[in-house]
Amino acid sequence: MVTTTKKRYLDAADIKDQARGNWMYLFSTLTGIGNAADNFNGNGSSSGSANARSACPVHGGNSNKAFYFFNDSNETGAGGCNSCGVHYDFDLIMWANGWDFRRTVEAVADALDIDESERKRNYKPKPQAEIKPRELTATELEKNLNLKNKMSQQWNEAYPLNKGKAKPARLYFKNRGLGDIGLLGGEVRLHPGLKYWVEDKDTKFGYKSLGTFPCIISTIRNKDGKPTTLHYIYITKDGNKADVPCCKKLGTAQAGVSISGGCIALSPPSRVKGVAEGLETSIAVENATKMPMDCCVNASMLGNWEPDNSTEIVFIWKDKDKPDWRGIRAGERVSNLLKERLEKRGIKVFIMTPPLNEDGVDWLDVYNQLGVLGFPEIAKKWLDIE
């Protein structure tokens, strides 16, 4: 007698909705970052409250504090490492454990006692407005005010890219093969000098400065266009990458303000929108195709990107990543997840893969090696749609 097992139906979006508000329990139960999860109280941030930190589950780290949670991590599932970057919800568990997507979704469902998703394919998600954010403490409100003042000060001290004192930024983009980049929607500026900080457990405050460098700063905005944080690229006066451990950094998140879904909006809202990870990659695509672009900074933010309400067609210009130690290609995986999520809303989505026969390349490499001719099919689709 042959017995058949009914295939378990799990809708990832449904499982993620039910995980909202339970991520600390899930991280504590399923991953090696349980110490940070168990001590999380909603007051930890990337700026360093120790009760929200632990050793990185992938590379460890010397301080045992490399991994951190954000203030809203129990709601969003976000967490990050000073070296490895920020990860979200399922992706964080996959990164920490080396699991594939299906195994991760099943493990989360099991931890939440979900046998099968009740949600059907035609499910329409609840409006975001129905989710009531928790009230912030007086300490969090004060920290938020300080962060906003700091960002405003840095932005006001910085120069638009067409100013003479912004020459290091223009040289940087020129050195990357991008030529005259214009104003980049007014969302990117050059700060004349910001200190670069790294962790140092031997110092009084736990951090030390490696010097002051010119810095390209970009505004990260949420779907509604509100600024959430800044992105930093530390460079030299002659337009090269600064000699620091990681020249690109994402600014500290404000309490109760999620950066998930945000981007650097290089172009205003439009019916057709292109989206990519890196700033230089996004500029290359915009130069080659004249397509309005949003820059998502990294793979995790690309996977969680939220289009404007006017957007009907999306081109995902994915990176052609090398597989990591688990055999996972981050750019491909998050692009597919984003495509699936947007198509459920009725948005038409194209995934664009660099036409180069090697791994570890992106559309900036295409632009520099093949020029505009590396984008013919894409340009045609763009013109046909318009």
Q: What whole-number distance in Å separates Cα of residue 350 and Cα of residue 335?
A: 10
Q: Divide the 386 residues of the chain into consecutive groups of 10 and give the mean pLDDT of each group.
A: 52 83 83 69 44 63 69 80 76 82 85 70 45 73 91 96 96 96 94 92 82 97 89 97 93 80 92 95 95 92 90 94 73 89 92 92 96 81 62
Q: Cα-flanking dihedrals φ and ψ of residue 46, to 5°?
A: -70, -10
Smallest Cα–Cα separation from 104: which of 187, 16, 171?
A: 16
Residue 363: other Cβ atoms inside 10 A: 31
- pLDDT value of position 62: 59
Strand-pair category, 264-265 with 248-250 = unpaired
Sheet holding 53-54, edge to edge: 53-54, 67-69, 78-81, 85-88
Q: What whole-number distance in Å separates Cα of residue 64 and Cα of residue 30?
A: 19
Q: What whole-number distance in Å separates Cα of residue 155 and Cα of residue 140?
A: 22
Strand-pair category, 67-69 with 78-81 = antiparallel
What's the Rg (C-alpha) of the chain?
21
- pLDDT value of position 216: 98
Residue 171: other Cβ atoms inside 10 A: 17
Contact partners, residue 385, CB within 8 Å, separation at least 6? 272, 313
Length of the chain: 386
- pLDDT value of position 274: 96
Q: Cα-flanking dihedrals φ and ψ of residue 108, to 5°?
A: -65, -45
Q: Cα-flanking dihedrals φ and ψ of residue 354, to 5°?
A: -55, 130
The interaxial angle of helices 101-111 and 12-19, nearest 10 deg, is: 40
* Residue showing tokens 């001590």: 39
Structure tokens at 148: 């906003």
Smallest Cα–Cα separation from 342: which of 281, 279, 275?
A: 275
Contact partners, residue 312, CB within 8 Å, separation at least 6? 271, 272, 347, 348
CB 282 within 8 A of CB 276: yes
This prediction's pTM: 0.69
Helix (H, G, I), strand (E, B) or coil at 340: helix
Helices then strands, counting H and E runs in the chain, come out as 13, 14
Q: What whole-number distance in Å separates Cα of residue 240 and Cα of residue 172?
A: 6
- pLDDT value of position 35: 65
- pLDDT value of position 140: 83
